[in-house]
Amino acid sequence: MNVSPVTGSTAANTTAATAVPTGNQIVSQWQSTNQVFEEILEETLEMLVSEESSTLPTAGINPSSTASSQGLTGLSGVDPSTINTSDSLTPLLLSLLPNFTGTTPQTATSANSTAADAGVTSAPTSTSATAPSGSLASIINTTAEKYNLPPSLLSAVIQQESGFNPNAVSSAGAQGLMQLMPSTAQSLGVSNAFDPAQNVDAGASYLRQLLNQFGGSVPLALAAYNAGPGAVSKYQGVPPYAETQNYVQSILNHAGLANASSSL
């Protein structure tokens, strides 16, 4: 039997076929594969954002990115810590993003959310003054007599609502000494809610209406002033809102009516 000798070219091909890739070749192949993978991930993120953009927090877009107005155009445009994993992006995809810690920020819940949902208007937090000025005291006394209200009650409501600040404006838009909402002020004929005389007269008139509506009960009238008459009617008493309950008790204490019959 004749055996043909292995030629040089055949041996070279055999050696090339069995050669082990060098370290540089492995790194190059890995970088190429990783780049393709990042492109796929980027396209997936863009697709999810475009389909469910309404559920993606705007904070998830880096405002410094030149393409931020056009959605996610690169992984560097995403701040993973601001994305809610319960919405559209899966934890698996997020785990592949740089700097993802596995946690997301919690949405802050307003301390007044329950009261706000019930229509409660929060008064300004600043109550620097503890007593009305001379001119305001005169307005309070005159107005209280006009609507058959104890001056101490009217003064306590003003203190609680605005801290005797005629220019007070709440976050909900209530204005002036007795924190009248614009619609309420308009219905009561107020042309300038920041005018002390107009504001106190309208607020006292409204308070008298509420007293008449709830059988002269001061606690119920105060609760209605704060949370709305609908809430008082619904619960047949002072609503179970912490803000409203504290509001009523504080005014009764300041007015010296906490231990009285509290009926006018």
Do 144 and 79 reside in the same domain of the chain? Answer: no
CA 55 to CA 115: how far, in whole Å? 26
Determine, yes or no, domain membership for 12: no
Domain of 56, in residue numbers? 23-95
Do 63 and 141 reside in the same domain of the chain? Answer: no
Do 167 and 138 reside in the same domain of the chain? Answer: yes
Asked if residues 94 and 75 have their Cβ atoms less than 8 Å apart, the reply is no
DSSP 8-state symbol, 33: H
The token pair that represents 187 in the structure block: 């219905």
Q: In the chain, which residues have pLDDT < 70?
A: 1-21, 23-24, 26-28, 30-31, 34, 44-131, 260-262
CA distances from 57 to 22, 25, 63, 89 (A): 45, 41, 12, 11
At a CB cut-off of 8 Å and minimum separation 6, what does 182 contact?
A: 173, 175, 193
Do 199 and 80 reside in the same domain of the chain? Answer: no
CA 175 to CA 165: how far, in whole Å? 10
Do 237 and 122 reside in the same domain of the chain? Answer: yes
Do 195 and 164 reside in the same domain of the chain? Answer: yes
Determine, yes or no, domain membership for 109: no
Do 125 and 249 reside in the same domain of the chain? Answer: yes
Mean pLDDT of the chain, nearest integer: 72
Determine, yes or no, domain membership for 11: no
Could you tell me the CATH number of the domain that includes residue 164? 1.10.530.10
pLDDT at residue 260, rounded to an integer: 59
**Among 46, 51, 161, 243, which one carries the catalytic annotation?**
161
Do 91 and 120 reside in the same domain of the chain? Answer: no
Q: What is the pTM of this model?
A: 0.53
Do 84 and 121 reside in the same domain of the chain? Answer: no
pLDDT at residue 134, rounded to an integer: 80
Do 133 and 238 reside in the same domain of the chain? Answer: yes
**Domain count within the chain:** 2
Determine, yes or no, domain membership for 103: no
pLDDT at residue 229, rounded to an integer: 97
| Angle subtended at Cα 183 by Cα 182 and Cα 188, rounded to the nearest 5 degrees | 95
Do 234 and 126 reside in the same domain of the chain? Answer: yes
pLDDT at residue 40, rounded to an integer: 78
Q: Reply yes or no on whether 161 is catalytic.
A: yes
At a CB cut-off of 8 Å and minimum separation 6, what does 222 contact?
A: 157, 247, 248, 251, 252
